């Protein structure tokens, strides 16, 4: 069963999510990957204002392909998240509640998620054509000079993700593997 | 001496860039379909079905299978009886430039590794030339995503480490990569040569069809052993658990020095793209 969630992801909504839950996200999220995160982080360090409202925001780690005429966006699957690990704790401390990517996160990111309340979702890596169908609108809101790495505002409908790490720190990358290996042992 | 124009090469490279990124090759499709049949874990089956749906959408709508349309790796086998009219390297880069622009592919190359500014046309390509007999040019285009490239490793083993050392290193590389390279993955293994040659062997191993085996029965057996060990790790598609961690292991080898046993592991994802044309 999929859990339908309307963004923004408030503390109340995210506390109910558990690692392994399949969700369909609806509403507004922002894109950001290496270069945009670096710029946001520098602004935070300097105590300056950020170009987007971070409170209760969800960031999708993605660098889409250019769109063709008639499309809202090109292919748009997740990029590997650990490259954002150096920057994510600072954004979570400012109120970011959702991150979408693929792959492992560092202990310091998970600690920040537990302390401030945030969820890490996985989208299926390498399924950019499929995922783009759930993105209805896409516009650049900051750092246009970064091209694909600019911050885009996305409007999504039933965007499929899985809770990989929940706000208690439960991690599907550990439990999923254990569950599978246990099921194989039982079959033997 | 056969003459081939630089324009012809540009035209072919452009077309191959677009085709490689929008149409997953048949060898990958059949590996993914077979793995779905053999996958006992429901979560993993669901992901494999989505992966199939994705490459079908990409092909039907002529959209990139993955948004990381890669570094353009270009392999040329040039017949020694061919004469190219014009600048070959420029012709290749022009083909990449046009293909990535007109094919709506992502430009992912920065001009300098430390002062990172995007070149905005996905050039320069990563080009490898081999001179062979004959009067043809065989061009293989293999866009390489970096989620998986970043998980690749190389190690200079000792001869005494032997085949067990190789197995341990390859399996360890895959386990450490975990969920990061978008499993299910394809594992290219290079054994032998020198430090640099070995890495190239691993990359070339990824050009071979994923459903093929090494022509040497010893290495074909080693490919099977490695695949079984990797698929016993339980990482599964996307790292959510399951049998299908890897779709294939391809090994390429080369003679090496009496003192060495270099091993390189080049990891690729379920979007392992390669397309070849002979002109
Ligand atoms: S690792 Fe492969 S499937 Fe994953 S994002 Fe990169 S190119 Fe795409």
Dump pLDDT digits (tens) for B197-245: 999 999 999 999 999 999 999 999 999 999 999 999 999 999 999 999 9
**Predicted local distance difference test score (pLDDT) of residue A1:** 80
Are B138 and B179 part of one and the same domain?
no
The Cα A134–Cα A100 span in angstroms is 14
Question: Are B160 and B95 within one domain?
Answer: no
Picking from B89, B115, B144, the residue at the C-terminal end of a domain is B144
Shared domain for B188 and B244, answered yes or no, is: yes
Residue B277 has pLDDT above 90, yes or no: yes
CA dihedral B173, B179, B183, B185 (to 10 degrees): -20
User: B140 with B185, same domain?
Assistant: no
Contact residues on chain A for B108, CB-CB shorter than 8 A: 63, 148
Bridge partners (DSSP) of residue B266 are B188
Closest CA to A85 of A51, A62, A112: A112
Q: Determine the distance separating the centroid of ligand 1 and the alpha carbon of B120, expressed in angstroms.
A: 20
Kindly state the helix (H) or strand (E) to which residue B93 belongs, with its residue range. Answer: helix B88-102
Fold observed for domain A2-187: fumarase (3.20.130)
Burial track B46-64 (b if 16+ CB lie within 10 A, e otherwise):
bbbebbbebbebbeeeebb
From A69's Cα to the closest Cα of chain B, the distance in A is 10
Query: Structure tokens of B97?
Result: 């430039």
B268 and B154 share one domain: yes
Does any domain span residue B82? yes
How many domains is chain B built from?
A: 2
Structure confidence at residue B83 (pLDDT):
97
Per-residue pLDDT for A188 more than 80? no
Same domain, residue pair B197 and B82: no
Nearest CA in chain A to B242: A180
Single out the residue in B90, B113, B144 at which a domain terminates. Answer: B144
pLDDT at A185 over 90: no
Q: Which residues of A touch B66 (CB under 8 A)?
A: 75, 77, 125-129
Tell which atom from ligand 1 comes closest to the C-alpha of B145: 7
B155-165 pLDDT, tens digit each: 999 999 999 99
Q: Do B215 and B256 have their domain in common? A: yes
CA-to-CA separations, B171 to B15, B44, B187, B232, B265, in angstroms, rounded: 36, 20, 10, 10, 10
B188 and B129 housed in the same domain: no
Q: How far apart are CA B43 and CA B121, in angstroms?
A: 38
- Nearest 5°: the CA angle B21, B24, B29 is 165
pLDDT band at A187 (very low <50, low <70, confident <90, very high): confident
ipTM over 0.85: yes
Q: Is A84 helix (H, G, I), strand (E, B) or coil?
A: helix
Asked if residue B44 is part of any domain, the answer here is: no
Structure confidence at residue B48 as a pLDDT band (50, 70, 90): very high
Q: Whose CA is nearest to atom 7 of ligand 1?
A: B145
Chain B CB contacts of A62 below 8 Å: 67
Range of the structural domain that residue B70 is part of: 2-20+65-144
Q: How far apart are CA B35 and CA A164, in angstroms?
A: 23
Strands A135-142 and A98-101: unpaired
Assess whether B135 and B245 both reside in one domain. no
List the residue whose alpha carbon is closest to atom 3 of ligand 1. A126
Would you state the structure tokens that stand for residue B189, as one six-digit string?
């293994």
- Are B8 and B85 part of one and the same domain? yes
Q: Does A148 touch chain B (CB under 8 A)?
A: yes
Ligand 1 centroid from CA B139, angstroms: 23
Q: Is residue B26 situated within a structural domain?
A: no
Q: Is residue A148 very low, low, confident or very high in pLDDT (cuts 50, 70, 90)? A: very high
What are the Cα distances from residue B140, in Å, to A162, B12, B29, B107, B204?
Answer: 36, 10, 19, 20, 10
């Amino acid at each position: 069963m999929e859990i339908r969630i309307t963004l923004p992801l408030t503390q109340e909504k995210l506390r109910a999510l558990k690692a392994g839950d399949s969700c369909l996200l609806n509403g507004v999220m922002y894109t950001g990957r290496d270069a945009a995160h670096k710029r946001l982080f520098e602004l935070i360090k300097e105590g300056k204002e950020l170009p987007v409202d971070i409170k209760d925001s969800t960031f999708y780690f993605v660098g889409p392909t250019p769109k063709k005429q008639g499309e809202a966006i090109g292919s748009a699957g997740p990029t590997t998240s650990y490259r954002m690990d150096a920057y994510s704790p600072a954004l979570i401390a400012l109120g970011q509640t959702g991150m979408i990517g693929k792959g492992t996160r560092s202990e310091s990111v998970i600690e920040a998620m537990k302390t401030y309340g945030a969820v890490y979702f996985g989208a299926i890596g390498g399924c950019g054509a499929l995922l783009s169908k759930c993105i209805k609108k896409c516009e650049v809101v900051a750092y246009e000079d970064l091209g694909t790495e600019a911050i885009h505002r996305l409007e999504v409908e039933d965007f499929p993700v899985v809770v990989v790490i929940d706000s208690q720190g439960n991690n599907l990358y550990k439990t999923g593997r254990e569950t599978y290996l246990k099921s194989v042992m039982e079959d033997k | 001496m056969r003459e081939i124009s630089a324009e012809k090469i540009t035209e072919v490279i452009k077309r191959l860039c677009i085709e490689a990124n929008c149409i997953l090759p048949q060898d990958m499709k059949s590996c993914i379909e077979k793995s779905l049949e053999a996958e006992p874990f429901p979560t993993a089956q669901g992901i494999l079905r989505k992966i199939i749906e994705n490459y079908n959408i990409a092909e039907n709508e002529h959209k990139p299978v993955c948004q990381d349309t890669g570094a353009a790796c270009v392999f040329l086998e040039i017949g020694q009886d061919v004469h190219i009219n014009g600048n070959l390297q420029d012709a290749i880069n022009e083909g990449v430039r046009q293909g990535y622009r007109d094919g709506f592919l992502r430009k992912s190359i920065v001009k300098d590794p430390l002062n990172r500014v995007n070149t905005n046309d996905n050039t320069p390509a990563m080009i490898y030339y081999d001179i062979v007999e004959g009067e043809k040019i065989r061009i293989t285009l293999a866009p390489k995503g970096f989620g998986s490239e970043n998980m690749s490793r190389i190690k200079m083993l000792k001869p005494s480490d032997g085949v067990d050392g190789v197995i341990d290193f390859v399996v360890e590389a895959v386990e450490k990569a975990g969920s990061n390279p978008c499993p299910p993955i394809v594992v290219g293994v290079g054994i032998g040569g020198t430090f640099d040659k070995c890495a190239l062997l691993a990359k070339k191993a990824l050009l071979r069809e994923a459903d093929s085996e090494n022509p040497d029965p010893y290495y074909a057996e080693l490919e099977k052993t490695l695949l079984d060990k990797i698929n016993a790790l339980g990482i599964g598609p996307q790292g959510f658990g399951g049998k299908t961690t890897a779709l294939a292991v391809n090994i390429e080898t080369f003679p090496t020095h009496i003192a060495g046993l270099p091993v390189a592991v080049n990891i690729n994802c379920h979007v392992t793209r390669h397309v070849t044309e002979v002109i």
